[in-house]
Amino acid sequence: MFLPRVGLETLKPYSVEEINWPIKIDANERPTDLPPAVKAKVMEKLAALPFNRYPEISAQSLKTAIGAAYGLTAANVLIGNGSSEVLEALCFSFSGAGRSIVYPTPSFSMYGIYAKLADSRPVPVELNADFSLDADKLLATAAQTQAGVVLLCNPNNPTGTVMPQDQVEYIVANTKSLVVVDEAYHEFYGSTSVGLLKKYPNVAIARTFSKAYGLASARVGYLLASEEIAKTAGKVLLPYNVNALTLATAEIVFSMRQYFADSIAENSRERTRMAAALGAISGITVYPSQTNFLLIKSENAAAIVARLNERGIGVRDFSTAPGLSGCIRIGIGTPAENNAVLEAITL
């Protein structure tokens, strides 16, 4: 007799609405393809790749390059199929049955799913009305529920807001759980918790190539952590988990990451411009953001989304999600795309 694994009935299949919007600003992707010089190097490297061979075991070259950029070694780094796989590996290896996984809410919707996949209890802790975090409430919840892992998204998706670095440190210093800082939007924020790695044994950082570095297609992310944490989390990854095409592409992108500086800076300028313009519209609240998107709130959210969609603009509608009523997440696109958004909302 065959039956699904116990507990799996509580998991809903992950579903996102997939529409090929002419202006696609619903998934926080980079609005344009790789810088041409970077793409040319990637294609050159892929052309020379022996497709018949397995990838380099444990992705040593990319780990070494990433580690070196942070004063760390390859032993402090893991490479995953997106940071999703890194986050999942941390939950699998530091949580499990009888423990909880604690995270602020609203935040990245996958956290609860990682918890269930790890046979752990998902325990969301509600953010304040301005999306700031009550650190003591989170710490008390982690202690009471025997959290294996505390997940902090900084900057936070989908709110765009940030936790001050001293608050992250306060949490790390006052819990025995592993604190994972998901820095998917780090490149737009500039600030990082990497400095905590040298001070505390119970902290890990997850990063992705999917957002600022424009590699959502390739699925690649990485962990920065102590050797002990990296070694333990690495146990639950399959051998050759990341394919050779992705590794080759990520190596080029990481070595040429200065080519992305201009577009990251432009994205931030555009975010400032959009925040001011949207904030000037009566009935719209714009939350402060240090990411490549803005969360706005309006009583007319449904009408705004409909108007954007009519004009071929896809955004992420959170207006009926818990804790996000009336909220829409609007990605920052190219200047022309952003103008189209403003025009659609103001008309």
Ligand X SMILES: *Cc1c(COP(=O)(O)O)cnc(C)c1O
φ and ψ at 269, to 5 degrees? -65, -45
With respect to ligand X, which residue has the nearer C-beta, 216 or 344? 216
User: What is d(CA 71, CA 87) in angstroms, rounded to the nearest whole number?
Assistant: 22
CB 277 within 8 A of CB 344: no
Q: How far is the CB of 216 from ligand X (least distance, A)?
A: 6
If you ran DSSP here, which 8-state letter would residue 288 be given?
A: -
Least Å distance, CB 95 to ligand X, is 17
Pick the closer one to ligand X by CB: 121 or 316: 316
Q: How many other C-beta atoms can be found within 10 angstroms of the C-beta atom of residue 33? A: 10
Residue 210 interacts with ligand X (CB under 6 A): yes or no: yes
Residue 268 or residue 345: which is nearer to ligand X going by CB?
268
Residue 84 as a binder of ligand X (CB under 6 A): the answer is yes
Gap between the Cα atoms of 208 and 110, Å rounded: 15
For residue 53, the minimal CB distance to ligand X (Å) is 25
Binding mask 293-322 for ligand X (x = CB under 6 A): ------------------------------
Q: Which one of residues 208, 226, 267, 290 is an interface residue with ligand X (CB under 6 A)? A: 208
Taking the complex as a whole, how short is the minimal distance between the CB of residue 1 and ligand X, in angstroms?
35
- Round to whole Å and give the CA distance between 248 and 215: 12
SS3 79: strand
Whether the CB-CB separation of 141 and 172 falls below 8 Å is answered with no
Inter-residue contact 293 to 3 (CB < 8 Å): no
Residue 153 within binding range of ligand X, rule CB under 6 A: yes
CB of 16 to ligand X, least distance (A): 12
Among 31, 82, 148, 333, binds ligand X (CB under 6 A): 82
Distance CA 287, CA 27 (A): 18
Tokens linked to 277:
């313009």
Does 184 participate in binding ligand X (rule CB under 6 A)? yes
Q: Which residues bind ligand X (CB under 6 A)?
A: 28, 82-84, 108, 153, 157, 182, 184, 208, 210-211, 216, 221
